[in-house]
Amino acid sequence: GEEVRDRWRTPARRWVVERTFAWLKSFRSLRTRYCCYLVNFMGLLYLALACILWRKLV
């Protein structure tokens, strides 16, 4: 019935998340995790997000 259809529906803004992941995959160091430590990986992630925001603002 209708409840089954609603369960399989994807959220309307799923493309926002998928687009963001696609932008992040353009950074090689994030695509293949070379860092042994989570702190280093998170630093690279924040740097990549800052670069993406900078490109969108300028």
| Predicted confidence pLDDT, tens digits, the chain (58 residues) | 456 566 666 677 788 889 988 999 998 888 888 888 999 999 999 999 999 999 999 9
**Model pLDDT, residue 43:** 94
Domain range for 24: 2-57
When divided into structural domains, the chain yields a total of 1
**Model pLDDT, residue 7:** 65
**Model pLDDT, residue 10:** 65
42 contacts 36 by C-beta, under 8 angstroms:
no
Assessment of whether the complete model's pTM goes beyond 0.75 = no
